Structure 1
Amino acid sequence: MSGGLPGFHNAPVSKAVVVAAALFSVAFGFRGHYRNLGLSYENVYGKLRVWRLTTSLFAFSSTPELIFGAALLYYFRVFERQIGSNKYAVFIAFSTMVSVMLQILSLGYLKDPSLNPLTSGPYGLIFASYVPFFFDIPISTKFRIFGLRLSDKSFIYLAGLQLLFSSGRCSIIPGLSGILAGLLYRLNIFRIRRLKVPDSTTSLFSRLPWPFCNHSYQRLPITESDGNNPSNQAHQTEGALTTTEDPMESSIVTLVSMGFDRGSAMQALALTNYDVNLASNILLEAQSM
């Protein structure tokens, strides 16, 4: 299942989260501290250090969890493109804080030595993202494997299950805490969905020279030329076409040319990860209702 345009185009906050998770996981993994990064009853209700709270939010507890977690964070960047970086930053902060609070309450209630420590990493954000994934992302294809009816969304669910049960109860508690945080956000508790961070804050992420992410999504050149078209002639220099076109804008133009209005086209593309064919199907079904 596609997560939309490749790379972190229009998703600078998601890029920051993925890079932070990778750097923290690798840095503490090299030091052999993987299994000591999460929250436990002793360090929460004893003396909780800032560094442990930070690593519990960003550093995954093992390499497999890092691989599955980073892949899911990369896919869920589609929600930042859908609601905008300003609101998505609020979603990240809300789901993370609520998830951590629920984990701390769980540790205090259970007081179970076997939960020492909980699995670390951005579980709150990942599993909170499954709530809009379940409700807002439509199924585009269905198929059967060994008699089982699956869809293109099934692989995302399977990756989440792998992550949820990776460490037994130590990973189930953070995962369930994230799902509950996502449900609270969707219920718009305290009108949280109306909040957004300033543009200056989110634009900072796009200006930072993140490691491993130094290239942005390149615009695609227009290869079509028409000597009789005045608009094309206006953008040609010595016979070479120099204008470029944003792929997202190209998708919108395609749907508008099919007779749909621009606002509906943008909403349908956001819901379908910028899949033009699926977006056109949704718009056609909406017209027929």
Structure 2
Amino acid sequence: MFTSTGSRGLYKAPLSKGLLLVPGVLACLLTLGFPQYQELFSYNLQAVRHDFQLWRLVCGRLVCLDLRDTFCSSLLIYNFRVFERRYGSRKFASFLLGTWLLSALMEVLLAEVLHRLFQLRADALPSGPLAAVFALFVPFFHSIPRVQVTQILGQLSITNKSLVYIVGLQLLTSSPFMWIVALGGLGAGELYLGDVLGVQRFLRVPGFVARACSRTLEPLLSGSEPNREAALGMGATLDIQRQQRMDLLDQQILLSQFAHMRRGRQQQVGLINWDRFFPNLRHRGQNLGRPQQPTPPPPPPPQPTPAASTPVSEEQVARLMEMGFSRLDALEALRASNNDINMATNFLLQH
């Protein structure tokens, strides 16, 4: 299920790779090797309010001090890498930066409201970039298609997004005050994605920073393109290997149909029968002394393939266009996949 929104690996996702490596390594070092430095990365709101230690709003939201939170957030970041491929690294980094800053303000406000209305003190919140991880659930909910995988007991529907929500629920229940971080992240995600008060213009990564990181960090974190032939043997069991081969076969069939439809459209639109306007001059003199033969009728136009004649739902086209794809590519992908929006989305993301 974690690979249903894109191809495997971290290809074209250097920022996601950095978010998996750097905070994970730091969390292991602080938990196992240097526990005496954990206090520097604790998210202590009481120290922020009373001692004005504003630096804790930064350091306390960088590294998870609980390995369970590190594991769950890493799984979610790996799944959400599809948004970096779709938006680009700079836009994806701007979304994380904007939601990270907005959620800090919302967390402080929620803790203060909780204290004044219900006399409940939230002196310390879970550490780490958890608010930005919860914020990524907003585009995941709005833009990733929901496709049913199976049913349990004939009533409970399991979709390609169920496992992601289960991991998010596990992360939500790992700490008593995690719900404050989750609400701050979800609210920040809605504000940034909806561009409320034009926050996307102000909270974004500057161009010179993006260029500098592209020249220095991207070569170190860039991943190689996955080898599809070598990926066939990655399954641990025969069922997994068989499923991988079926997925690869579906992708090859879809790619073949897509290329065939594009060639057919180019032949019908781009090619002109110039012989209809200018007959062959080389044989014109040879045909002067001979009786003219009746001109054979022109060949019938090529019949459209069954995939091309399949009606396409405008609602599905609109959903693919909302993801950033052009209308022409969305139409061709839906026709080639027989209006299967999940296959069309995977095809457009990978090819």
Structure-to-structure mapping, 1:46-125, within 5 angstroms = 46-49=50-53, 52-111=56-115, 115-125=122-132
Distance (whole Å) between structure 2 residues aligned to residue 9 and residue 154 of structure 1: 24
SS for the counterpart of 2:157 is: strand
> In 2, distance between residues paired with 1:150 and 1:16?
31
Deviates more, 1:174-183 or 1:80-89: 80-89
SS of 1:144's partner is: strand
**Aligned-pair CA distance for 1:23:** 3.0
What pairs up with 1:203-214 in 2 under 5 angstroms? 203-205=211-213, 207-208=215-216
- Determine if contact 2:43/2:124 at 8 Å carries over to the other structure: yes
Indicate the SS of the match to 1:142: strand
After TM superposition, the structure 1 = structure 2 runs for residues 259-270 of structure 1, keeping only pairs within 5 Å, are: 259=261, 263-264=326-327
Deviation at 1:207, TM superposition (A): 5.0
Q: Describe how 1:1-289 pairs up with structure 2 within 5 A.
A: 1=1, 2=3, 3-30=5-32, 31-32=34-35, 37-49=41-53, 52-111=56-115, 115-147=122-154, 148-168=156-176, 170-193=177-200, 197-198=205-206, 200-205=208-213, 207-208=215-216, 216-218=223-225, 220=227, 256-259=258-261, 263-264=326-327, 278=341, 281=344
1:219, distance to aligned residue in structure 2 (A):
6.0
RMSD: 3.8
Instruction: Please say which of residues 67-76 and 22-31 is displaced more in the overlay.
Output: 22-31
Once residues 254 and 186 of structure 1 are traced to their aligned partners in structure 2, the CA distance between those partners, rounded to angstroms, is 36
Give the C-alpha shift of residue 154 in structure 1.
0.5
Amino acid at match of 2:6: G
Deviations 1:232-257 (A, max 9, x none): xxxxxxxxxxxxxxxxxx99965641
CA-to-aligned-CA distance 1:28-74 (integer Å, 9 cap, x gap): 22333658844333211123446533332221131111101011011
Q: CA, structure 1 residues 282+94, in 2 after alignment: closer, same or farther (shift >3 Å)?
A: closer
- CA deviations 1:193-234 (Å, max 9, x no partner) are 467545553354455569xx7672236599xxxxxxxxxxxx
Work out whether residues 13 and 205 of structure 1, in 8 Å CA contact, stay in contact via their aligned partners in 2. no
For 1:198 and 1:55, the matched residues in 2 are separated by 22
Structure 2 distance, partners of 1:65, 1:268, is: 41
User: Do the aligned residues in 2 keep the contact of 1:13 with 1:202 (CA within 8 Å)?
Assistant: no
What residue identity is the alignment partner of 1:159?
V
In the alignment, is the contact (CA less than 8 A) between 1:8 and 1:15 conserved in 2?
A: yes
Change (3 A) 1:83 1:221: closer
Q: Deviations over 1:128-160 (max 9, x none)?
A: 110111110002333123452121100000000
Please say if residues 62 and 127 of structure 2, whose CA atoms lie closer than 8 Å, have aligned partners that are also in contact: yes
Q: In 1, distance between residues paired with 2:330 and 2:132?
A: 23
* TM-score (normalizing by structure 1): 0.71
DSSP-derived class of the 1:54 partner: helix
User: Please, which moves more after superposition, 34-43 or 117-126?
Assistant: 34-43
Q: CA deviation at 1:90?
A: 1.3
Where 1:115 maps in the other structure, the secondary structure is coil
Structure having greater relative contact order (Cα 8 Å, sep ≥ 6): 1
SS of alignment partner, residue 12 of structure 2: coil
Q: Percent identity among equivalent residues?
A: 26
Q: Unpaired runs of 5+ in structure 1?
A: 223-249, 270-276, 284-289
- Kept in 2, the 8 Å contact 1:131–1:183? The answer is yes
Change (3 A) 1:202 1:10: farther
Deviations 1:150-173 (A, max 9, x none): 2110000000011011102x1110
Q: Which of 1 and 2 has greater Rg?
A: 2
Q: 1:107 to 1:281 in 2, by over 3 A?
A: closer
TM-score if structure 2 supplies the norm length?
0.60
The residue aligned with 2:248 is: none
User: CA 1:198–1:97 in structure 2 vs 1: closer, same or farther (change >3 Å)?
Assistant: closer
> What is the aligned length?
249
Does the 8 A contact of 1:142 with 1:151 survive in 2? yes
Contact 1:36 1:117 in 2 (8 A): no
Quick one: structure 1 residues 186 and 51, their matched pair in 2 at CA, closer, same or farther if it must change by over 3 Å? closer
- Could you tell me whether the CA contact under 8 Å between 2:44 and 2:56 is conserved in 1? no
| CA-to-aligned-CA distance 1:162-193 (integer Å, 9 cap, x gap) | 1011102x111001110001111122113344
Structure 2, unmatched stretches of 5+, are: 230-251, 266-324, 333-339, 347-351
SS in structure 2 opposite 1:64?
A: helix
